[in-house]
Amino acid sequence: MNRQSKRVKIVVLGGSFGGLTTAYTLRRHVPAERADITLISKERRFTFIPSLTWVAIGSRTVDRISFDLAAPLAAKGVTFAHETATAIDHERKAVITERGEHPYDFLVIATGHRSANEAVDGLGPFDGPGHSPMSPPEAEELAGAVRALIANPSPVVIGAAPGASCIGPAYELAFELDHLLRQRKLRHLVPMSFVTPEPHLGHMGMGGAGKIRQLLEGAFEERDITYHTCAAVTKITADSVEVDAGTAIPAALSIVIPPLAGVEAVAKSPGLTNPKGFVPVDAHYRHQSADGIYAVGVAVAMAPVAETPVPINFPKTGHMTDQMAEIAAADIMAALDGHEGPTADLSARCILDMGNRGAYMAVDPVRPPRNKIPIVSEGRQWLLAKRAFERTYLWHARRGRRMPSSLGW
Ligand SMILES: Cc1cc2nc3c(=O)[nH]c(=O)nc-3n(C[C@H](O)[C@H](O)[C@H](O)COP(=O)(O)OP(=O)(O)OC[C@H]3O[C@@H](n4cnc5c(N)ncnc54)[C@H](O)[C@@H]3O)c2cc1C
């Protein structure tokens, strides 16, 4: 196929950070005469997922942190298909949805994750008594459980299951809940424990980040949050979290981040994924063997930084997702002109909400060893920056503008 002269079809699968950044970046640079761009998403709305912990503690509604994708995509000349993909046929180059087929020359898979709740007995919320903030409905369910805790203060366990990769929200929920309970003068009635597969606090699946370990240990100790590292959660019941198949920690409310897997439509499409359903890619985020396919964000297969006594996986943050989307879009644009696009190591910037203040972390590259000493800073200004970043990101995303990646996260 001569992609240099033909008008091509680009399909982006997923309407969140990876999908939206890819579609906007491509549309900004590729005129309509060169490419039709279609974005398929099973959700009609874009949700600013990092704010789901704020939904869980009742300081945001899902409505406030989301917007309908139809108008901004139409304004940018991107066709929006509000459909659920059921399979990808990479030999025929088509995405199959419940409504029909979308043929493509280039396909960008940005379908995020499926919570692998089957990994630990009791992970929830909808499969078991555990709670989790991994999606808007789960965060809303958790908000109800938090209201019940306030009405009836009882022990809480927060943490992550073996093989988890998205540990940051567990830390945020521990700090946010601690802060909420102190504001209500209820904290003395709620024993709080943190259980994590990490070999030490602040490992986060990326081998740690400068002094974040010391910062988090100190912060948990001053807040009377007991922590267990190298802990394998083996069972969650209505009143306890069992660790290492023996120790049951009392918990009327348990919030345990699950390990993640690729979504079914991608995982079950032959020849596209590893056994966990994630897509293997090269440095341009191109599929390692299927022609014309790219993957970005949580859908991508990434090896852990190192073996740990209890498994923990590599984090794929929103900031990293946006970088992957920009690299994949650049490669598609370059391919249209008959060459290869640039690649870059991923860096990560992240602001952790600590309840009454925030901690800022910057690592470059994400995978150690690193050229730069990680930056770790703590203070009230970072909490304000996190709130401002949410508003700024949503403002830009709603208008189809380049989203600011450098400011916060
Ligand atoms: C509670 C929480 C807090 C977080 N906090 C931070 C933070 O502070 N900073 C940070 O950088 N990162 C944070 N992250 C991580 C960040 O949210 C993810 O990295 C980001 O959402 C990944 O984007 P994505 O586009 O790859 O996938 P997702 O956001 O998961 O989106 C997947 C998209 O694919 C669509 N889709 C899925 N299956 C199909 C299908 N079959 N057919 C059609 N469409 C489909 C979905 O509708 C959705 O639009 C947090 C994550 C969570 C859960």
Residues ≥6 apart with Cβ < 8 Å to 396: 402, 403, 404
Instruction: Decide: 40 in ligand 1 pocket, CB within 6 A.
Output: yes
pLDDT (0 to 100) of residue 47 = 98
The bridge status of strand 233-236 relative to strand 348-353 is unpaired
User: Do 240 and 255 touch, CB atoms closer than 8 A?
Assistant: no
Cα–Cα distance measured from residue 75 to residue 333, given in angstroms and rounded to the nearest whole number:
21
Residue of 39, 268, 298 to test ligand 1 pocket, by largest number of atoms within 8 Å of CB = 298
**Catalytic residue list contains 230:** no
**Catalytic residue list contains 166:** yes
pLDDT (0 to 100) of residue 401 = 86
Sign of CA dihedral 12, 13, 19, 20: positive
Q: For 42-66, give the DSSP string.
A: SSSEEE-GGGHHHHHTTS--TGGGE
CA of 152 to the centre of ligand 1 (A): 32
User: Do 393 and 48 touch, CB atoms closer than 8 A?
Assistant: yes
pLDDT one-digit tens code per residue, 11-68: 999 999 999 999 999 999 999 999 999 999 999 999 999 999 999 999 999 999 999 9
Instruction: Decide: 131 in ligand 1 pocket, CB within 6 A.
Output: no
Residue of 17, 95, 97 to test ligand 1 pocket, by largest number of atoms within 8 Å of CB = 17
Which atom from ligand 1 is nearest to the alpha carbon of 52? Answer: 1
Cα–Cα distance measured from residue 299 to residue 328, given in angstroms and rounded to the nearest whole number:
13
User: Do 190 and 154 touch, CB atoms closer than 8 A?
Assistant: yes
User: Do 181 and 190 touch, CB atoms closer than 8 A?
Assistant: yes
Domain 8-115+261-344, CATH number (from 3.30.70.920, 3.50.50.60, 3.40.1710.10, 3.30.565.10): 3.50.50.60
Burial class (CB in 10 A: 0-12, 13-18, 19+), 133: buried
E runs forming strands in 117-268 = 156-160, 192-195, 225-228, 233-236, 240-243, 247-250, 253-257, 260-261
CA of 110 to the centre of ligand 1 (A): 9
Q: Which alpha helices (DSSP H) does 112-208 contain, by range?
A: 136-151, 168-183
pLDDT (0 to 100) of residue 4 = 58
Among 161, 219, 263, 350, the active-site one is: 350
User: Do 265 and 87 touch, CB atoms closer than 8 A?
Assistant: yes
Instruction: Decide: 112 in ligand 1 pocket, CB within 6 A.
Output: yes
pLDDT one-digit tens code per residue, 166-221: 999 999 999 999 999 999 999 999 999 999 999 999 999 999 999 999 999 999 99
Q: Whose CA is nearest to atom 15 of ligand 1?
A: 317
Residue type, 236: I
Q: Flag residues of the chain having pLDDT under 50.
A: 1
Fold match, 8-115+261-344 / 117-259:
yes
Instruction: Decide: 168 in ligand 1 pocket, CB within 6 A.
Output: yes
Which atom from ligand 1 is nearest to the alpha carbon of 386? Answer: 8
pLDDT (0 to 100) of residue 1 = 46
CA of 173 to the centre of ligand 1 (A): 18
Class of domain 117-259 (CATH, top level): alpha beta
Among 166, 251, 336, 351, the active-site one is: 166
Q: Hey, where are the domains in the chain?
A: 8-115+261-344, 117-259
Q: Whose CA is nearest to atom 18 of ligand 1?
A: 318
CA of 293 to the centre of ligand 1 (A): 19
Task: Give the CA dihedral 377, 378, 384, 389, nearest 10 degrees.
Answer: 40
Q: For 314-379, give the DSSP string.
A: PP--HHHHHHHHHHHHHHHHHHHTTSPPP-----EEEEEE-SSSEEEEEESSSSSS-SSPPEEEEE
Instruction: Decide: 350 in ligand 1 pocket, CB within 6 A.
Output: yes
Instruction: Decide: 42 in ligand 1 pocket, CB within 6 A.
Output: yes
124: nearest Cα among 16, 223, 235: 235
Instruction: Decide: 69 in ligand 1 pocket, CB within 6 A.
Output: no
